[in-house]
């Protein structure tokens, strides 16, 4: 199918496919372990698909704001790689899927050296937060926000202060994990400071169009096709996309690779950032999650699109 006819079909069909997928939301559950997240609407589903000419096909509730949560981990990893290089980052965090929950600290005690298995589980992302350059948590957080604004082409990205405070007040598990990491010699700096950087980047508020634009930069190997600006070295995009394929969708990453076949990262707020290499950046939001923690309606919609347009990379 030619690029134009595919995009035309996307424009006309997307709202119909979205409404079919939206029905799945009733079977999911909105995350509540961060209390503020439970306010997200159960039946919401939105998507934005952005191409290299700046055309957008969007449908449903694509305008609702949501926090990036684990989606942010892809980009803090990239920033940490840009700040430190590969050797220093992978000295503190591994490259393997775990098979454990995103917030598990099981293997930090069982496996030596006690470094996290990968940068997309919480322990790994907390280790990565400590590698971001900056004199203190404020400077690190502001460098992360500036980087995300640049990638999203949106200078007004901000934190959702309520979600940030809600997570900071309830994150007992992440706190204990960070102390264990500190004891294992993985974290640079004070535990509270590192956690503050982590909670803040998880709380950056976006809409589907923002993460579609960030994904488009990854789809074009680090160069923003809309401005021609090179934002990320190609090697680091390659690393990030490989983690997205192998561990981006929690313990359903294998299933997503088989059913959809695209690099993706989801978050507990119901967001999914995904991309079709060399073609589209895609942002999805659907707060009702399946048992593996991914947006139940969002995954269904991506399965439909991948099948209809034969988008799988495999």
Q: How far is CA 58 from CA 14, 119, 288, 300, in A?
A: 7, 30, 19, 16
Binding residue for ligand GLU, selected from 38, 103, 170, 259, defined by CB under 6 A: 103
Q: Say whether residue 267 binds ligand GLU (CB under 6 A).
A: yes
Q: Is 140 a catalytic residue?
A: no
**What's the min distance (Å) between Cβ of 203 and ligand GLU?**
8
Q: Say whether residue 122 binds ligand GLU (CB under 6 A).
A: yes
Binding residue for ligand GLU, selected from 268, 276, 288, 297, defined by CB under 6 A: 268
Q: How far is CA 59 from CA 15, 145, 312, in A?
A: 5, 27, 22
Q: Is 198 a catalytic residue?
A: yes
| Annotated catalytic residue, options 137, 163, 198, 253 | 198
Binding mask 219-258 for ligand GLU (x = CB under 6 A): ----------------------------------------
Q: Is 250 a catalytic residue?
A: yes
**Residue nearer to ligand GLU on the CB measure, 21 or 69:** 69
Scan residues 194-213 and list those touching ligand GLU (CB under 6 A): 202
Q: Is 39 a catalytic residue?
A: no
Q: Can you list the alpha helix ranges (DSSP code H) found in the chain?
A: 3-22, 72-84, 86-92, 106-110, 122-129, 137-152, 161-170, 172-183, 191-202, 208-219, 234-247, 253-259, 296-309
Scan residues 61-100 and list those touching ligand GLU (CB under 6 A): 69-70
Binding residue for ligand GLU, selected from 6, 36, 160, 167, defined by CB under 6 A: 167
Q: Which of 206, 169, 259, 207 is nearest to 60 (CA)?
A: 207
- The separation between CA 258 and the C-alpha centre of its own chain, rounded to angstroms, equals 19
- Burial of 308: CB neighbours in 10 Å, binned 0-12, 13-18, 19+: middle
Q: What is the DSSP letter of 34?
A: S
Residues that bind ligand GLU (CB under 6 A): 69-70, 102-103, 122, 167, 174, 202, 267-268
């Amino acid at each position: 199918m030619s690029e134009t006819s595919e995009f035309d079909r996307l424009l006309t069909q997307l709202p119909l496919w979205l409404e079919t997928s939206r029905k799945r939301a009733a079977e999911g559950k909105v995350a509540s372990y961060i209390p503020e997240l439970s306010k997200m609407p159960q039946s919401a589903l939105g998507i934005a698909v952005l191409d290299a000419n700046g055309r957008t096909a969007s449908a449903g509730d694509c305008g609702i704001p949501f926090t990036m949560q684990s989606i942010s981990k892809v980009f803090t990893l990239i920033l940490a790689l840009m700040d430190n290089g590969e050797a220093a980052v992978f000295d503190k965090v591994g490259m393997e899927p775990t098979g454990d929950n995103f917030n598990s600290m099981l293997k930090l005690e069982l496996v030596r050296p006690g470094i996290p298995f990968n940068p997309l589980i919480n322990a790994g992302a907390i280790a990565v937060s400590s590698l971001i350059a900056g004199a203190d948590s404020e400077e690190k957080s502001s460098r992360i926000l500036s980087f995300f604004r640049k990638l999203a082409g949106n200078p007004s990205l901000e934190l959702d202060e309520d979600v940030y405070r809600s997570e900071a007040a309830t994150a007992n598990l992440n706190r204990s994990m960070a102390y264990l990491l500190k004891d294992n010699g993985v974290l640079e700096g004070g535990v509270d400071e590192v956690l503050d950087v982590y909670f803040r980047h998880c709380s950056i508020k976006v809409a589907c169009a923002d993460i579609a634009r960030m994904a488009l930069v990854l789809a074009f190997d680090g160069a923003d096709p809309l401005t021609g600006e090179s934002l990320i070295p190609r090697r680091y995009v390659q690393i990030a996309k490989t983690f997205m394929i192998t561990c981006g969708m929690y313990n359903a990453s294998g299933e997503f690779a088989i059913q959809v076949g695209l690099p993706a990262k989801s978050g507990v707020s119901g967001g999914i950032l995904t991309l079709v290499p060399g073609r589209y950046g895609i942002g999805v939001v659907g707060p009702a999650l399946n048992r593996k923690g991914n947006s139940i309606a969002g995954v269904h919609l991506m399965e439909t699109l991948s099948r209809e347009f034969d988008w799988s990379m495999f």
